[in-house]
Structure formats: structure tokens, C-alpha cells
Amino acid sequence: MSAVHNTCFAFVPFSATLLALVAAVADAPAQEPQGRIGGVVRDAKTEEPLAGATVSLVSTGQTAVTSDDGAFRLTRVAAGAHAVRVDRPGYRGRTIEAAVPGAALSVTLEASPIGLDPVVVTGALTARAAERTLRPSNVVAGEELQSRLDGTVASALAAEPGLAAASMGPASARPVIRGLGGDRVLLLEDGARVGDVSSGGVDHATALDASSARRVEVVRGPVAFMYGSNALGGVVNVIRDEIPSSALGQTTGSASLRGGTASGSLAASAAATFGLANRVPLRVEASGRRAGDLNTPAGVLANTGGDTWSAGAGASYVADWGHAGASFRSYRNDYGIPGGFEGGHEEGVRIEMERMSTKFRTVVDPAPGRFDRIELRATHTWYRHSEIEPPGILGTFFKRQTTSAEIVARHDGTGILSGRPTRGATGVRASREAFSFAGELSTPNSRRTTLAAYFVQDVDFDPIRIEGGLRYDWIRIDPLRDDPDADIGPVGDRTFQAVSGSLGILYATESGLILGASAARAFRTPDVNELYSEGPHLAAYSFEVGNPSLGAETGTGVDVFLRFVRDRFRAELTGFHNRISGYVYGQPTGEISRVLLPVYQYRGADAALSGFEAAAEWHAGRSWVLHGTASHVQGSLRKTGRPLPLIPPLRARMALEYERPAWFVRAEAEVAAEQDRVGEFESPTDGYALLNAAVGLRLTLAGRLNVLTANLENATNANYRNHLSRVKEIMPEAGRGLSLAYRVVF
């Protein structure tokens, strides 16, 4: 199906809904005049103004950065009370109430090595502190995000409890959550699906660059009702605010430069948001990274370098009724997959990726008495992926085009249950995807159509909060070439439908103890490769055989957690159990294909994954703080008890940090146990211990916050292997490496 047809499919319901909304807005009473929130941020002890503090409006995400006199200004803010969040590295953040109209704010921040819990928006009806979310969540932002970035989102998140990275070389690292990866972890960019083919092979990188992102949020566990099927493991959301949502009182942005010795990498990025006119904010960004081959304690891992380039722009029109805008992004990634595997090329394979995406977003804020917010989103993504074999022959080719449209109506108000405050959202989504294949991988070109509707409700019984949601998905996969006599089984249309749901409860005490539990049912349809592939996938060095009779995976997950939050100590302990019916995995058959590659057959079986995650942070006195995390998951086939393949081992981290507002120093130890619970034809890996260190300096220059950090990784040059990396068969992970990162916030 053509891209034009795909676009029309999504935009017909989108346009009809838009016309209905325009009529509703025209009929709505006029909004109150809009004002502004301004003030000064100071050090609580010295009363000196603080430059580089981020001040944001929680309800809209509008952001300002303080100048050298500590001043900030948020413009075009609706009348009424608002929550304002203030953060700066080296200080304890604050969330305060501000009124419009009202007097200028005077905000003081206390120097502290432990900041306030970050605000989470992914998987939540409204922005909440991470400690008050109903699902275990992580946020990596600002200075921390920039110091961790090493080319991929997965590498930046690997230190979080419950997360790991699967790869076939450093450029192809993909996030794994609680032992689930690939198509079971939903990758989002500002809440929209990325639309790449990273789930189609261990050699496929994610078409997602976080170097210019404002923050990355992770929600662990099944999160189906807001984002759709396939989120059995969780959601990773890279937040850039590509389409600005509010008018600006000042230009804001950041720029960064990073280099590393482990692969000789050099990366730079810059992003800025400014006002073209009173009601028209514009955001522009660009980033690039160049890396060479990876250095390991056993030598150089050849053909692992690559170049990544990304650029984007987005603008919107901000009116009293809301805003409407659009954005465009271009992304390119050319990288290598090492050779030396059974049946593979000694020189390896080169992969060329290209992705272009266009997004449209309209948010309508009707008057009270109707929905509080109605949001329309539409996205079109074009993606191309070529795998080049020596001496420059196209071995495998993938192309994917995705067009989607979604409307979400949100409401806040008083519920029918004893007048309790409630929040809710109702949404519908439609998408059409076209998959094309070429080269030696014999997978038929296919289309996938998805229709979905969902409802989520949150009721506050203070101190108890309950949230529940339901979602219905209908999915049809249509190969353009039916083959009832195919060797892998009859190839034809498949239709899947399922109801997903979630129910959670949270109890918060005044002492800082928070208890919670949630249960969720989510599902995943097999992808096109799992259903219909039959042929060599040369970059992955495997011969893949699909199974057209595979059923949908259905996962039922339960989380129970305990959190304790005080000024000087915070901790979280989570236990989880996830049962998946029809778990699809590529099982090595032990056979060698006609092209001398190992044969993998996709099969479905019932599986179970259980484990725990723990994190703690203790302010030990003066400026010392102790951090610790640990996580473990065990996966098995329920019928036989045989271990699932590619499950990460028990892992833990411990860090001691001395932090002042102007500088910090940190020492860290990372340990992993051996993994000897392995699937059939999978090799075990030994445990390891790594030592890392970091130092950072924060300076106010020319009225801007400048941050310089240095990270020493694998200080002892330990020879270790990541169980989730296929490279472990031929080489260890990176050896000793030093990286330097510079970032300025304005």
C-alpha cells in the first residue's frame, strides 16, 4: 500500500474528529485572560541568585531557565492556581504553588546531595512525583543523562534497577526491562512510537537519539492501556518537547560536547526553543556522533564504529483555547556489526539506517463543564534499513512506513464516589503500517492495521489512590503474497484482538511510607518476521524460520512495592511476577542451513518471569551520599521449567558520592553474578566486578550554568562479558575508558 493511502487512512478519522472539536471550541465560553509567573531563585543559605535553575509549569511543561540574576518568567499562563517545579543540580528541588494573577515569587533552594523525586508523565494521567506513581518508574534527565550517554538510549539506562542492554556490538544496544526486550519494550519519542525495526533482530539499532532530549522516562512492567499492545516489559519514553506547547518568555536550550577513549568517539548536540512571534514558539535541534572501533582488554573489536546524525524542528501556534503545532525529524545511523560468528563474514556487516518522521499535535482546553483537555495527535514515519555485506552487496533490506492518528479526551473533577477527586482519560487510536523486505531474507511484504479504544480512571480517597484502565485492540496482519503451500505453513491474513486492563492501589502515610500494588493484563501480536520469515538474516548471522500459526502473547503481571521517602533517606523495594501465555522466542534448532548459518525457529510456549528490584539513597552527613541498586529476574518455560534464553543475571551497583553545589566526585562499583541458567544452545557467562569513578564541575559563566564531567569506566580494565550480548562469543566488553562531557544550559 502506498504512503499516500496510508496517510489518508489515518487522517480521515483525524479530520472528522478535528471538525467536531472546532465546533465544540467555537461553542465554548471565552477563556479568562492569561498572565504570567515570574520571580527569582536563590541559594537558601547565602541568598545569592542561582543561574541555570530550571523552572517549569507542571500542568503544561512550559519551562524557563534562570539567568545570572536568578530571574525567570513563564508567560501566557491561564488564571488560577498552578504547581511550579524548580530544580538545579546540587540542590534539593521544590514544587510550589503559584497563582495568576499574583505577586512575583521568591524561591529558595537548599544545597543537598539528594534532590527531590523527579516528576513522571509517562503512563500517568497527570504529572506526578516518581514516589507517587502506581508503577515503578525511573527518570534520567539533565546533567545525569548527559554524563551517561554513550551513543545509545540503552547504555544510558543500563544502570537503572531492572534494566539491561542487549546488543551485537555497541551501536546496536537495545533496552531490556525485567528480562523482556525487543518487541516487548515499547520505545516512544514524546509519547509516539518510534517506528523502526529494532525489534526485528539483535543487530538492529534503535532509531532514537537521546543526546538532545530533555529527559528519558522508564515505566517498568505491563503498561498497555495508555500506549497499546506490546508493552509487556515496559515503556521507554524519550522526551524532547519537539512541538512546543506554550509561548515563551525567554529563549531556552542547551548544548553539549562529549568525547570518549573506549571507541574514540566524539559527539555534539544543541537544542533551543525561542519565540518567532508572541504566539509562535519554535524549537530547533541538531546532533552528531562519530565513533571508531571498540577497544577491549582482549584487543580491538573490529567493524563496530559508526556515524549518527539527527536534526529536527517543531513549531506551534499558542492560543487562548490551547495550541496546535507540527514537527519534523531526520535521523541517520551508519554502523558496523562485527564478524567472526559461525557462518558470518570475517569482516562483519555494515548497516545503514534512515528515519524521517512528521508529527502533528493539537491540544484544546475547553471551558469547565466539558472535558478539561482534548488532544489530537497524528504521526507519519518513514524508515529504511540496509545491511551491506562485503564487498558492498545488499544482503538484507527493510522498509517500514507508519501512519497513525489518536484522540485523547481528559477530565478532572469530582467523582460519584462520595465526591472524591477523579481524573480520567478516554482515547481512540488508528494506525496503518506497511512493511517491505528485499535481499536474501524471504519475508513477504505485509501490512498491519490497528484500531484501539481505551479508558482510564483515577480516584483519590486520600491517603489511598486507585487507578484502573481498560483497552481493546483489533489488529490485522495482511501479507501481500498468500502462499497456502509454503514450507513454513500456510501464509495468509491473521487477525488478533484482545482486551487489556490494569488496576492499581497506592497508600501513602504521613511518615513517608508508601505501599502499593498493581495488576495488569497486556498482549502482543507476533511481528511480521516471527510469522512469515524464511531465509538468512546475514547481519544477525542466523537463518530465521517463521511460524504463521503463532498466537498472540498474553501477559498477566503483578507488582507489589514499598517505598520510604524522607529528607535524608529514600528507598524502594519491588517484587514482580509476570506470566506470559504463548511467549514467542527464536529457538536454536541445532541445525545448519544451506548457507551455513544456524537455524532459528520461532515457537510459542507459556513462560513466567519473577524477580525483584531495589534502590536506596542515604544522605550520610555533610555532603556525603550513598547510592545502591540491585535487581534480579528469573525466567522459565512453565511446562518444562527450562530457563528462557537471554535473561540478565543478578546485578547490583553501589556508589559513594561527595556533592557540593559547585562540584562533585563519585566512586562506583558494579557487580554481576554468573548466569548459568541458560536456554538450549546458549552459553553461560561468568560474574564480574567493575570499578568506575566520576568528577564534575558546575560553573556560572556569562550568566549560564556550565557543567563539565569526567567519567572513568572499568578502571581496572577488567575482562568481562555481558550475558545479553552476542559479542561475548568472540570478545569481552569495553576496557578502561575515559569520557569527558561539557554542557551549557541557557
Mean pLDDT by 10 residues, the chain (746 residues): 40 39 39 72 93 85 86 83 89 88 88 78 77 86 82 89 92 93 91 89 89 88 74 90 82 92 95 88 95 96 95 92 94 93 78 97 77 91 93 88 95 65 89 91 91 92 91 95 88 93 93 94 90 79 87 93 92 96 86 80 93 95 93 95 94 96 95 93 93 95 91 97 92 95 91
pTM over the 0.75 mark? yes
Residue 329 has what pLDDT? 96
Residue 205 has what pLDDT? 92
Q: Residue 108, SS3?
A: strand
Q: C-alpha grid cell for residue 584? A: 514467542
Class of the domain covering 3-27+119-242+252-265+272-288+297-310+346-745: mainly beta
CB 528 within 8 A of CB 475: no
Q: Residue 53, SS3?
A: coil
What are the DSSP E strand ranges found in 58-149? 63-65, 71-77, 80-87, 94-100, 105-109, 119-120, 128-129, 137-141
Count of other CB atoms within 10 angstroms of residue 315:
18
CA–CA separation, 502 vs 127, rounded Å?
19
Count of other CB atoms within 10 angstroms of residue 549:
12
> What DSSP state is assigned to residue 280?
E
CA–CA separation, 383 vs 369, rounded Å?
43
Residue 11 has what pLDDT? 39
Count of other CB atoms within 10 angstroms of residue 245:
18
Residue type, 467: E
ω before 391 within 30° of 0 (cis)?
yes
Q: C-alpha grid cell for residue 591? A: 541445525
Residue 702 has what pLDDT? 85
CA–CA separation, 262 vs 541, rounded Å?
26
CA–CA separation, 165 vs 174, rounded Å?
5
Give the strand pairing for 192-193 and 128-129.
unpaired
Q: Residue 175, SS3?
A: strand
The helix, strand and coil proportions of the chain, stated in percent and rounded to the nearest 5, come to 10, 60, 35
CA–CA separation, 638 vs 579, rounded Å?
9
Residues of the chain with CATH 2.40.170.20: 3-27+119-242+252-265+272-288+297-310+346-745
CATH number of 35-109: 2.60.40.4130
CA–CA separation, 602 vs 443, rounded Å?
14
CA–CA separation, 582 vs 603, rounded Å?
8
Residue 344 has what pLDDT? 66
Could you tell me which of 165, 198, 183, 187 has the C-alpha nearest to residue 236?
Answer: 187
Could you tell me which of 298, 304, 297 has the C-alpha nearest to residue 263?
Answer: 304
Straight-line distance from the first to the last Cα atom of the chain, in angstroms, rounded to the nearest whole number: 46
Residues of the chain with CATH 2.60.40.4130: 35-109
Mind spelling out the 3-state secondary structure of 119-174? Answer: EECCCCCCCEEHHHCCCCEEEEEHHHHHHHCCCCHHHHHCCCCCEEEEECCHHHCE
Residue 342 has what pLDDT? 67
Residue 9 has what pLDDT? 41
